[in-house]
Structure 1
Amino acid sequence: MKNIDVNDVIDNAIFNRFHWKVLFWCTLIIIFDGYDLVIYGVVLPILMDQWQLSPYVAGLLGSSALFGMMFGAMGFGMLSDRVGRKKVIIGCVMLFSVTTVINGLATTPWEFGALRFIAGLGIGGVMPNVVSLMSEYSPARRRSTLVALMFSGYAVGGMISAGLGIWIVPNFGWQIMFFLAGVPLLLLPLMLKYLPESVAFLMAQKRENEARHVLRQVAPLMDIRQEDVLEVPPTSNSKAPVLELFRDGRAMSTMMFWVAFFCCLLMVYALGSWLPKLMSSAGYALSSSLMFLMVLNVGAIIGAVGGGWLADRLSLRSVLVAFFMLASASLVALGYDNPMWVLYTLVGIAGATTIGSQILLYAYVAQYYPTSIRSTGLGWASGIGRNGAIVGPLVGGALLAMAMPHHLNFLALAVPGVIATVAIALVGRSGFGVEPKTTAVPAAAMRTTGS
């Protein structure tokens, strides 16, 4: 009989079929998550015409799912500690899939908005739990890479949503896009069978036989016997108070991080919700307008990978400053007449430097704060940023309601990028906080995030 450290087994495991299985199912769930979230931007131009929506109401409908995401992330995150991550993930998939399917039957904007809010609860609830499950089972040396690969599923889901919308919406109506969200329901039996439960939860529930079975799959070459004792090192549950984020010269830098998160997510969700409508209002065909949304998500993947590679060789601050400057410049240029290939290039750059910047911001915050307050710093920065995500669709609706010239709409969306540029430039400067001592961080770590 021997004592076995559960975390040590997982950290030092050799990547095998079990890890591929976890990666596959977690990525697939994130793809469904991305599809359901981006779908509103795909159908928005049709809904505004069909229901005669004012831009203000359309913006409110766009934010309804984001409100749900905020509450879902908090509520289902706590629930998973009691009932397990697997049950919560399956429940969230059922919630956002069923609600999105029913959304296709909505006949009034208020029905639509209520259903989007409920779907948002599931969309927001599934994200932290899938990220936690993927992180828990990933070998330490590949953890950041695997989580980054999983996160790419969000952009893939957005691309699928936009790509299908180009063909389906003009020919068959917007409702079909929502009915297709029922596909995950067909895969629920396979998810129940192949998606593992958190081993930490199994240990906390004294279900050691199940935990032992999982660990044998994680490390099949390790001789784990029935009589061996599984151990989970004790962890401290204490959390540093929020006030620590403002001490030791960190006050200004903390505020600047919050400003940058807010502005970045405002741009990301304003574009995700309103880009097709803004382009169709400028005279582009619906299929071309939806293609812009797909290119935006393609750019997001390129920006995440390229930004992480650059951050390894330069610094996070310099890369973020450059990205936010490029984001503002590309958005301003989108407001003017250009050849189609130039417009697609500009949209791709906008996707790379807005969504890519969001990912890099998480890495910078994690690197800036001491370990003792790192999770507090990340939690509050992302919480403030979520408010920007909620405001984004509302801002887009307000701009459209003002009926301003096309180029002024994009000029207004570029302003948050300028503010974020200044904010990041002030992080860690002398007199504004202490610049963190950076260490070599793998490029994949730069690409890791959570929404």
Structure 2
Amino acid sequence: MKAKSINPNNVIDNSKFHSYHFWLVFWMFLVIMFDGYDVVIYGASVPSLIKEWGITDVMAGAIGSYTVIGTALGAIMFGMAADKFGRKNIILLTTILFSFFTFLSGLANDPVTFTVFRVIAGIGLGGVMPNVIALTTEFAPKRIRSAVVSFVFCGYSIGAIIAALTSRSLLPTVGWEPVYLMAGFPLLLLPFMWRSIPESIGFLIEKGKEEKAKQILSKIDSTLNMNAAIHVEKQQIKVPGSPVIKLFEEKRALSTLMFWVSCFSAFVLIYSMNTWLPRLMMQSGYDLSSSLTFTAVMQVGAIAGTLIFGRLVDKWGFKKVLVPLFFCGAIALSLIGFTKSTMLAFIYISVIGASSVGVQNMSNAFVSQYYPFKMRSTAIGSTMAFGRLGGIVAPIFVGVLLSMNLMPQFNFAAIATAAVLGGIAMLCVQEKHGDYQKGRKAEHDENLKMAK
């Protein structure tokens, strides 16, 4: 009797969350946590760098922007390279890049050397994120996929909180260098990551390593018949043509553009806050220690927003959650410059965290599910590459605003326009043309057929 074929998607989609998923999520969470730490320590250390090296606000913003140029390059290069070399290999390589060169940044003696190291680290930071999203999406059970991906990206906020609290402790006493040197810690974990992180099932099948793919699938479902052949769905078969062009086919053009604009807006918010929040709050009358506390509070808001609204996304759909969050962020940014209450400022900052980092975490899950499997890395990589243009613009833009000595209210209101743009863009995404919606429709039609 012929053995029943194995459908990798069905095995993963219908699986229960158990220890194999736990360890994958653990390592992906950890990688993104270090990513968040490496990104946020620059904003935390900007006041110290300005004081030590005598650089201007505009120059400090430029260094932040150059770093984001590196992340944009990394998102493009490594998003596409994963299809050739495997997501696991790229995740490990990019982790080495951002950890080692952030560590070296702590040894820099001048702004030029520091900037070079930060740009190279940025290439790694940009490359790791789309591949972590894609690998997590591929292995997460379908019923909790959005929540799992959103949870993994809470690691970014945990890393940012650690960066803020570490900076608050170390900057006044031992200076900014140790804050960067601590970023080398992930290098010690690489052997464990190599052993624990699985390679993409789709990549293994494409490379003819079906036995290896079945071994991984058997850890997800121990009842699999290892003698059965793997059935590859049509969407997993490689098609000719530019991978980016494919994102604009099958009525996805408008949504692809809107994802890019939305991501651009989210990154303007994220990098404006990551780079300049301590400085902006100091301009509003707070000291450095209190300003770094605001950075931590923003990330707490990002985590709470991601976890709470991530669950609502599974229930209500992405747009019904993400669009209002963007607009709430615009309102909070517009109000924070007018309040003199620290408690109200904490509330506004936490809302900003939920509507910037939190929104981007959930948007990543949206993009990763919107496109077919074969386009996932390219879709996420290109979206985040375009989004990082916002990250390039934001540090210099806010640096120029600060150099103009405007009232704090005007600076925050100017940043708020990005949240409005993001909400409008997300509103224009056409969910009906997404791959996950097609899957839901097919499942619904099948259920109706069975009911009849």
Band of TM-score, shorter chain? 0.7 to 0.9
Do 1:312 and 1:440's aligned partners in 2 also have CA atoms closer than 8 Å?
A: no
Corresponding residue number in structure 2 for 1:277: 279
AA paired with 1:170?
A: P
In the TM superposition, residue 177 of structure 1 has moved relative to its aligned partner by 0.8
Corresponding residue number in structure 2 for 1:397: 399
In the TM superposition, residue 278 of structure 1 has moved relative to its aligned partner by 1.4
Secondary structure in structure 1 of the residue aligned to 2:6: strand
Q: 1:218 aligns with which of 211, 217, 220?
A: 220
Q: How does 1:40-439 map to 2 (within 5 A)?
A: 40-224=42-226, 227-234=227-234, 235-238=236-239, 258-308=260-310, 317=319, 319-359=321-361, 361=363, 382-421=384-423, 427=428, 436=432
Corresponding residue number in structure 1 for 2:442: none
In the TM superposition, residue 161 of structure 1 has moved relative to its aligned partner by 1.0
Corresponding residue number in structure 1 for 2:450: none
In the TM superposition, residue 382 of structure 1 has moved relative to its aligned partner by 4.3
Do 2:131 and 2:377's aligned partners in 1 also have CA atoms closer than 8 Å?
A: no
In the TM superposition, residue 57 of structure 1 has moved relative to its aligned partner by 1.0
Larger helix fraction of residues: 2
In the TM superposition, residue 11 of structure 1 has moved relative to its aligned partner by 2.9
> When the two structures are superposed, what TM-score results if normalisation uses the length of structure 2?
0.84
Seen in structure 2, the aligned counterparts of structure 1 residues 322 and 12 have a Cα distance that, compared at 3 Å, is closer
Seen in structure 2, the aligned counterparts of structure 1 residues 164 and 436 have a Cα distance that, compared at 3 Å, is same
Seen in structure 2, the aligned counterparts of structure 1 residues 171 and 80 have a Cα distance that, compared at 3 Å, is same
AA paired with 2:326?
A: F
1:30 partnered with 2:6: no
AA paired with 1:36?
A: D
Do 1:94 and 1:185's aligned partners in 2 also have CA atoms closer than 8 Å?
A: yes
**Deviation by residue 1:226-274 (Cα, 9 ceiling, x = unmatched):** x4434433434347985995997986x7766654443332122111110
**Deviation by residue 1:336-374 (Cα, 9 ceiling, x = unmatched):** 351221211111111112233334555777899999999
Distance in 2 between the 1:310 and 1:139 partners?
17
Distance in 2 between the 1:13 and 1:243 partners?
30
Distance in 1 between the 2:247 and 2:353 partners?
34
In the TM superposition, residue 104 of structure 1 has moved relative to its aligned partner by 0.1
Distance in 1 between the 2:397 and 2:134 partners?
32
In the TM superposition, residue 96 of structure 1 has moved relative to its aligned partner by 0.9
Distance in 1 between the 2:142 and 2:404 partners?
51
Do 1:369 and 1:436's aligned partners in 2 also have CA atoms closer than 8 Å?
A: no
Secondary structure in structure 1 of the residue aligned to 2:301: helix
Do 1:296 and 1:351's aligned partners in 2 also have CA atoms closer than 8 Å?
A: yes
Do 1:365 and 1:377's aligned partners in 2 also have CA atoms closer than 8 Å?
A: yes
In the TM superposition, residue 119 of structure 1 has moved relative to its aligned partner by 0.4
Distance in 2 between the 1:192 and 1:439 partners?
31
Seen in structure 2, the aligned counterparts of structure 1 residues 186 and 346 have a Cα distance that, compared at 3 Å, is same
Seen in structure 2, the aligned counterparts of structure 1 residues 437 and 100 have a Cα distance that, compared at 3 Å, is closer
> When the two structures are superposed, what TM-score results if normalisation uses the length of structure 1?
0.84
Do 2:11 and 2:221's aligned partners in 1 also have CA atoms closer than 8 Å?
A: yes
Corresponding residue number in structure 1 for 2:446: none
Do 1:245 and 1:373's aligned partners in 2 also have CA atoms closer than 8 Å?
A: no
1:4 partnered with 2:6: yes
Compute the RMSD of aligned alpha carbons: 3.4
Distance in 2 between the 1:212 and 1:87 partners?
19
Distance in 2 between the 1:247 and 1:222 partners?
35
Distance in 1 between the 2:371 and 2:89 partners?
33
Do 2:372 and 2:435's aligned partners in 1 also have CA atoms closer than 8 Å?
A: no
Do 2:334 and 2:416's aligned partners in 1 also have CA atoms closer than 8 Å?
A: yes
Which runs of 5 or more structure 1 residues have no equivalent in the other structure?
A: 429-433, 442-451
Do 1:242 and 1:376's aligned partners in 2 also have CA atoms closer than 8 Å?
A: no
Do 1:67 and 1:120's aligned partners in 2 also have CA atoms closer than 8 Å?
A: yes
Distance in 2 between the 1:204 and 1:435 partners?
29
Mean alpha-carbon deviation: is it higher for 366-375 or for 328-337? 366-375
Seen in structure 2, the aligned counterparts of structure 1 residues 67 and 76 have a Cα distance that, compared at 3 Å, is same
Do 2:24 and 2:197's aligned partners in 1 also have CA atoms closer than 8 Å?
A: yes
Do 2:29 and 2:152's aligned partners in 1 also have CA atoms closer than 8 Å?
A: yes
Distance in 2 between the 1:413 and 1:349 partners?
14
In the TM superposition, residue 380 of structure 1 has moved relative to its aligned partner by 6.0
Distance in 1 between the 2:431 and 2:80 partners?
34
Distance in 2 between the 1:249 and 1:181 partners?
39
Q: 1:13 aligns with which of 1, 12, 15?
A: 15
Which runs of 5 or more structure 2 residues have no equivalent in the other structure?
A: 438-452
Distance in 2 between the 1:341 and 1:249 partners?
44
In the TM superposition, residue 389 of structure 1 has moved relative to its aligned partner by 1.7
Seen in structure 2, the aligned counterparts of structure 1 residues 85 and 289 have a Cα distance that, compared at 3 Å, is same
Mean alpha-carbon deviation: is it higher for 48-57 or for 331-340? 331-340
- Aligned-pair identity (%): 37
Mean alpha-carbon deviation: is it higher for 294-303 or for 378-387? 378-387
AA paired with 1:138?
A: A
Distance in 1 between the 2:137 and 2:251 partners?
31
Secondary structure in structure 1 of the residue aligned to 2:153: helix
Distance in 2 between the 1:373 and 1:163 partners?
38
Distance in 2 between the 1:5 and 1:315 partners?
27
Distance in 2 between the 1:174 and 1:320 partners?
36
Seen in structure 2, the aligned counterparts of structure 1 residues 376 and 192 have a Cα distance that, compared at 3 Å, is closer
Do 2:294 and 2:349's aligned partners in 1 also have CA atoms closer than 8 Å?
A: yes
Do 2:370 and 2:436's aligned partners in 1 also have CA atoms closer than 8 Å?
A: no
AA paired with 1:62?
A: G
Distance in 2 between the 1:330 and 1:108 partners?
37
